[in-house]
Amino acid sequence: MVVVWIIAGLVALVFVWLALAKLLARVFPFPMPHRVSFILESWPRRITMPARTTLNRMGLAPGMVAVEVGPGTGYFTFEVAKRLKPGGRLVCVDVQPQMIERIREKIAHYGADNIETYVASAEKLPLEDSGADFLFLISVLGEVKEESAVLTEAYRVLKPAGVLSVSEFLPDPHYRTKSEVRRLASGAGFEPVSVKGNFFVYTANFRKPENSERITHR
Ligand SMILES: C[S@@+](CC[C@H](N)C(=O)[O-])C[C@H]1O[C@@H](n2cnc3c(N)ncnc32)[C@H](O)[C@@H]1O
């Protein structure tokens, strides 16, 4: 009986947090302030969202041209760049110059040679049409002002059969549920491929249709 009450309490807590988070995101509709970005690489996050587990769910492969939208401090960036070798490269785009600066410092420190960085918005990526094999957002989608515009932009820069990967993590106040992400992705023209993980931490992968030349959003 006690166990049932504990579970019910936890479920209620999750729903209260989700409701509160939606309200917070509406009242403060801006990206995670760079001053609190230490949270992104803190030990509780490393335990609850290990980079390796998330990346294993995404399906990156050597030789790919990948785009990371909203890399923050680069918690995933350097492991992704390694997985794209040999021959692949990673393009990182973040709207906050302080986040990109942090990644540039790390590039200089680690000597990574297959990462490009841009300060730009996800709604207007500094990339050509149909040039990328893979585009991913981790704990980013709920932070952007125009979520559907971002996915439409992802569609533009991906090659036909290119993969869009969205990962979410629940304590994030901008968390989006699997069904919200599925709805947004299909609205932008993507086909579902896989969803891995659980309610709290998951990765949803989608594909731009192979015959997508005929579908245009511009
Ligand atoms: C919560 S952090 C996540 C960082 C990283 N993906 C991670 O999971 O550790 C969200 C990041 O998305 C960036 N961001 C928010 N809105 C954006 C936009 N419209 N365009 C590009 N980046 C954006 C923020 O600046 C921030 O670095």
- Annotated domain spans of the chain: 1-29, 31-214
Nearest CA to ligand 1 atom 25: 96
Report residue 89's pLDDT band, with 50, 70 and 90 as the boundaries. Answer: very high
The architecture in CATH of the region 31-214 reads 3-Layer(aba) Sandwich (3.40)
In the numeric block, which tokens belong to residue 130? 């149909």
pTM of this structure: 0.89
Assess whether pLDDT exceeds 70 at residue 19. Answer: no
Q: pLDDT value at position 58? A: 97
User: How far is Cα 80 from Cα 164, in angstroms, rounded to an integer?
Assistant: 15
CB 70 within 8 A of CB 140: yes
Site to probe by mutation for ligand 1, drawn from 75, 92, 94 as the one with most ligand atoms within 8 Å of Cβ, is 94
When comparing pLDDT for 182 and 22, which is higher?
182
Q: Does residue 215 surpass a pLDDT of 90? A: no
Residue ID of nearest Cα to ligand 1 atom 27: 72
Question: How far does residue 37's CA lie from ligand 1's centre (Å)?
Answer: 10
Strands (E), 145-215: 158-169, 191-197, 201-207
Question: Residue 161 Cα, ligand 1 centroid: separation in angstroms?
Answer: 25
C-alpha to C-alpha distance for 65 and 118, rounded to whole angstroms: 15
What pLDDT is attached to residue 16? 66
In this structure, which residue's CA is closest to atom 14 in ligand 1?
A: 70
- How crowded is the C-beta side of 139, counted as CA atoms within 13 Å? 23
**DSSP tag of 52:** H
Structure token pair of residue 148: 């559907």
- Which pLDDT score is estimated for 36? 76
**Closest to 192 in 3D by CA, of 175, 176, 179:** 179
Q: Which residue has the higher pLDDT, 30 or 64?
A: 64
Residue 26 pLDDT grade (very low, low, confident, very high; cuts 50, 70, 90): low
> Atom 16, ligand 1: which residue's CA is nearest?
144
Pick the closest to residue 73 from 106, 50, 43 (CA basis).
106
Which residues have any ligand 1 atom within 6 Å of their CB? 31-32, 40, 69-72, 75, 93-96, 99, 121-123, 138-140, 143-144
What Cα–Cα distance (Å) separates residue 12 from each residue in 9, 15, 177? 5, 5, 16
Taking the centre of ligand 1 as the mean of its atom positions, its distance from the CA of residue 71, in whole angstroms, is: 6
- 3-state DSSP call for residue 11? helix
- State how far the Cα of 116 lies from the Cα of 90, in Å rounded to an integer: 6
Q: What is the pLDDT of residue 29?
A: 63
Nearest residue by C-alpha to atom 10 in ligand 1: 140
Q: What is the mean pLDDT of residues 6-34?
A: 70
Residue 214 pLDDT more than 50? no
| 69: nearest Cα among 135, 158, 151 | 135
Residues whose CB falls within 8 Å of the CB of residue 59, separated by 6 or more in sequence, listed in order: 163, 165, 205
Q: What confidence score (pLDDT) does residue 218 get?
A: 46
